[in-house]
Amino acid sequence: MVRVLVVDDSAFMRNALSRMLSEDPEIKVIGTARDGVEAIEKVESLRPDIVTMDVEMPRMDGIEALRHIMQKNPVPVVMVSSLTTEGAKVTLDALDLGAVDFIPKNLSELSLNILKIKEQLIEKIKNIGKMGRVKKHVKPVAPREVVKYIPERTVGERRVSIVAIGTSTGGPKALQEIIPRLPKDFPVPILIAQHMPPNFTGPFAERLDELSNITVKEAEEGEPLKPGIALIAPGKGHMKVVKKTAIEAVVNIAENTKEFIYRPSVDVLILSVAESFPGRALGVILTGMGSDGLKGVTVLKRTGGRVFAQNEETCVVYGMPKAVVDAGLADKVLSLEELPGEIINAV
């Protein structure tokens, strides 16, 4: 049973979230709070498995409450966020402070399919709630220095010409541990699919660029792939690679690919990379729930590519990497600390 504390200054939202969550037999809403002060008190007294935290609240907002909770009584916190650009920046601040994920504030406006929204909310709460207590959060120093240790190269391993990374829950923190540790002269393009809403991927790319030696930006339609530039798939659609010539490839943003549930889809990205760079691609699957990326890396391996998966110990949710590992597709299963060096070594 996952025990949830719902924090929101809106009685409507407290009731809506509580009602949605309580419909699942594996979830129990053990309390609600109207502001950050109440949230801190109830985390202390009720000891929930997970907290949903609104951002804008009287007396004490969600960011300040999160800061207190992560220092005094660390627990997985999911932010309830506005889908505006400003909301995205605040949410990214919350993720930096230790929040594990976020859900949209305006649930009723996201889609006519409220049932699907509820299912995704419940899945997220159950997966994150079962991870247990989290460590006391200390914000890491921006890691502009590249990794000092590069593992020895296995004889016979071919160098790759492109790196494709897929992630979901816990991905922003994981990417901030990996991308800033790559050198400025990184010799191949990097493509990233991180499950995020449309207004979030741009601000996230800007934040990652500020921390990194390489250039990081949100991908644009028709943009050419270049060494040392990491392109993040825009949240409005799915990012594909299209080969223009034997030596030139560009990005295609497909907004109406209904076959794939998650957006931007890791499968869409890696399937296109496998097709455009057979035998010369590296797929990296990081923390996230579900199995997005499994179809892609299956084809990637079949075409001679290589696959790295994040290990369970350093994942927020060991779902996407687990699917790849259980299918026997991972060439290496690595911690966050090991991944930058191994990626450098592969190119």
Kindly name the residue from 82, 195, 209, 272 that is annotated as catalytic: 195
Are residues 112 and 193 part of one domain? no
Active site residue 195: yes
Kindly name the residue from 35, 49, 54, 292 that is annotated as catalytic: 292
Are residues 203 and 93 part of one domain? no
Are residues 319 and 188 part of one domain? yes
Pick from 103, 57, 56: nearest CA to 76:
103
**Is 149 domain-assigned?**
no
**Radius of gyration of the chain, Cα coordinates, nearest whole angstrom:** 20
Pick from 17, 33, 51: nearest CA to 133:
51
Q: Give the containing element (helix H, strand E) for 120.
A: helix 114-129
Tell me the mean pLDDT in the region 42-59.
95
pLDDT in tens, 227-241: 999 999 999 889 999
Kindly name the residue from 81, 82, 161, 168 that is annotated as catalytic: 168
* Secondary structure of 205-265 in HEC code, one letter for each residue: HHHHHHHCCCEEEECCCCCECCCCEEEECCCCCEEEEEECCCCCEEEEEECCCCCCCCCCC
pLDDT in tens, 235-265: 988 999 998 887 789 999 987 656 656 779 9
| Domain count for the chain | 2
What's the CA gap between 280 and 300, in Å, rounded? 9
Q: Name the one residue in this structure whose structure tokens are 């509820």.
A: 118
What's the CA gap between 269 and 207, in Å, rounded? 22
Please, is 17 exposed, middle or buried when counting C-beta atoms within 10 Å of its C-beta (0-12, 13-18, 19+)? Answer: buried
pLDDT in tens, 128-186: 887 766 655 445 545 556 665 555 555 456 689 999 999 999 999 999 999 999 999 99
Active site residue 161: no
- The CATH number given to whatever domain includes residue 6 is 3.40.50.2300
Active site residue 168: yes
Are residues 330 and 210 part of one domain? yes
At residue 260, the pLDDT reads 58
Tell me the mean pLDDT in the region 28-42.
97
pLDDT in tens, 78-137: 998 877 778 889 999 999 999 999 887 765 554 445 566 688 789 889 988 877 666 554
Which of 80, 110, 129 is the last residue in one of the domains? 129
Task: Give residue 111's domain range.
Answer: 2-129
The pTM score is 0.89
At residue 22, the pLDDT reads 94
What's the CA gap between 192 and 308, in Å, rounded? 14
